[in-house]
Chains A and B, each alone.
Chain A
């Protein structure tokens, strides 16, 4: 995906402009483009398909009803959108709790994410080009993750996919809060450097 980041980002902003005019075809295009990624994130956090689908679709509904909340001057649509999905999933976790225990073991070596189902490239109609680009992205992200220490990966995992706050992580790991904070910050800095070295654009963020 990252090979054509600039084009994707520009197209997303144009689609959101169309969504502001209540253009349903633009919403459909964004849905087709990002449901898979958002669903994967929500599923990883919630561990249950129906809840993940509801969570993502709620965000799409909000996007349709209040498209003006997205400010293209502040950054990429994908980042804004995934932040909303993450926030919604975290709220859902706080409300109903996790339905499956968070599995960290598969990620300890940075080689894979074992709690995610094997790739099904045909389901959902993802194109061959998309799949190839996605494989390239995954390879890059995993290479970057491999540069982190296991404790750094663990706290990032608990924070982002576990929906836990730093203090909750400290309690969960029985580690001092300061240690957790340091691991999160140094882990993110190291990951950012590793990704940017490989060409991942900071313009994909939303600030």
Chain B
């Protein structure tokens, strides 16, 4: 018997314990990953979880705590998320842009280079160094804290950071992993208050949302009604930081258009993204070879 077969048998033997929640944390994590790739184990797990439903159903005969519905209603009201006003980011960007235009007319290049598609997601992209300088100057004036030398240092630092980000972008695609999400894993990511999300828009009739947990570096993609990519091609998820595109990984939705995928990015690679986008690619690319079919800002 091959080593791989032995490993698969070991996972299979642990499914009953997994369904009962009786694996240790490291075993659970390993099983989460295996389950995502093994249809046989998913089917077996489903049958064992039906058994745990029966075990729980055997416990129904308890008196319910008085007032529980009222307390739940209170919790629900207290947890209503703050809804961001539609378009506030765009309006803020427009205001900034209007002020910047007033203050940097002499520094602005006469004919800006054509913008690449992902730059359309970034209100400051395509301004060039002079535009960035004007924007930084504007921030400095607002905050009143940075002198000229500080500003230079900040710009140098920002340029160095951008170079590092570009280097990261080239390596992330090779080191990230994509698995069908485990519920507990997804809950942990979405439960992190620092997690940010982007709703991607396009003409596919699909609903796609991306969450990025800057703490763990994990990214969740949830798609509904996403059609299967054309033959020989897959979807590739991109994260954008300014004008830098970061290849996350390829994925293919299930035949019914549903996907719930967790991408694990290298530590430190998940912060400060401004947007996410999907392209259709023949292979894992480090820069998009086609226009995005869906995109959206965080």
Interface residues of A (CB under 8 A from B): 1, 31, 35-41, 43-44, 49-50, 53, 57, 60-62, 64-66, 68-69, 71, 73-76, 78-80, 82-84, 86-87, 90, 113, 116-121, 123-124, 134, 137-138, 140-142, 144-145, 156, 159-161, 163-167, 169, 181, 184-185, 187-189, 191-192, 195, 200-207
List 9 extra interface pairs beyond A166-B24, A184-B16, CB under 8 A: A61-B76, A68-B224, A75-B46, A117-B61, A120-B62, A185-B16, A200-B50, A205-B48, A207-B45
Chain B positions within 8 Å of A161 at CB level = 55
* Contact across chains for B23 and A166 when beta carbons are under 8 A apart: yes
The residue from A49, A83, A123, A203 contacting B183, defined by CB atoms under 8 A apart: A83
28 A-B contacts (beta carbon < 8 Å) = A36-B64, A37-B60, A50-B65, A53-B65, A53-B71, A61-B76, A61-B79, A69-B183, A76-B53, A78-B53, A79-B52, A80-B183, A82-B53, A83-B49, A116-B61, A123-B63, A124-B63, A159-B17, A160-B52, A166-B22, A181-B14, A181-B17, A185-B16, A205-B19, A205-B47, A205-B51, A207-B44, A207-B47
* Contact across chains for B58 and A53 when beta carbons are under 8 A apart: no
Encode contact with A along B13-56: 1 for CB under 8 Å, 0 otherwise.
Answer: 11011011111100100000001000001111111111111111
- In the complex, what's the smallest C-beta–C-beta distance from B268 to chain A, in angstroms? 26
Chain B positions within 8 Å of A37 at CB level = 56-57, 59-60
* Contact across chains for B48 and A188 when beta carbons are under 8 A apart: yes
* Contact across chains for B48 and A203 when beta carbons are under 8 A apart: no
Please measure, in the bound complex, the distance between the C-alpha atom of A53 and the C-alpha atom of B74, giving whole angstroms.
Answer: 13
Please measure, in the bound complex, the distance between the C-alpha atom of A188 and the C-alpha atom of B16, giving whole angstroms.
Answer: 6
- Whether B142 is near chain A, meaning CB under 8 Å from some CB there, is no
Please measure, in the bound complex, the distance between the C-alpha atom of A97 and the C-alpha atom of B24, giving whole angstroms.
Answer: 17
* Contact across chains for B22 and A73 when beta carbons are under 8 A apart: no
* Contact across chains for B52 and A82 when beta carbons are under 8 A apart: yes
* Contact across chains for B187 and A141 when beta carbons are under 8 A apart: no
Please measure, in the bound complex, the distance between the C-alpha atom of A140 and the C-alpha atom of B58, giving whole angstroms.
Answer: 9
The residue from B49, B59, B224 contacting A40, defined by CB atoms under 8 A apart: B59
Q: Which of B22, B75, B186 has the most CB of A within 10 A?
A: B22
Known: A62-B187, A73-B256. A44 touches B52 (CB 8 A): no
- Whether B191 is near chain A, meaning CB under 8 Å from some CB there, is yes
- Whether B254 is near chain A, meaning CB under 8 Å from some CB there, is yes
The residue from A82, A113, A124, A163 contacting B64, defined by CB atoms under 8 A apart: A124
Question: Which 6 A-B pairs have CB atoms at the shortest separation, nearest pair first?
Answer: A207-B46, A119-B61, A205-B49, A205-B50, A124-B64, A188-B16
How extensive is the interface on chain B, given as a class?
Answer: 35 or more
* Contact across chains for B55 and A205 when beta carbons are under 8 A apart: no
- In the complex, what's the smallest C-beta–C-beta distance from A55 to chain B, in angstroms? 12
Chain A positions within 8 Å of B46 at CB level = 74-75, 79, 202-203, 205-207
* Contact across chains for A116 and B53 when beta carbons are under 8 A apart: no
- Whether B209 is near chain A, meaning CB under 8 Å from some CB there, is yes
* Contact across chains for B54 and A206 when beta carbons are under 8 A apart: no
* Contact across chains for B183 and A84 when beta carbons are under 8 A apart: yes
Please measure, in the bound complex, the distance between the C-alpha atom of A84 and the C-alpha atom of B49, giving whole angstroms.
Answer: 12
* Contact across chains for A169 and B22 when beta carbons are under 8 A apart: yes
The residue from A74, A140, A192 contacting B42, defined by CB atoms under 8 A apart: A74
Known: A144-B54, A206-B49. A165 touches B59 (CB 8 A): no
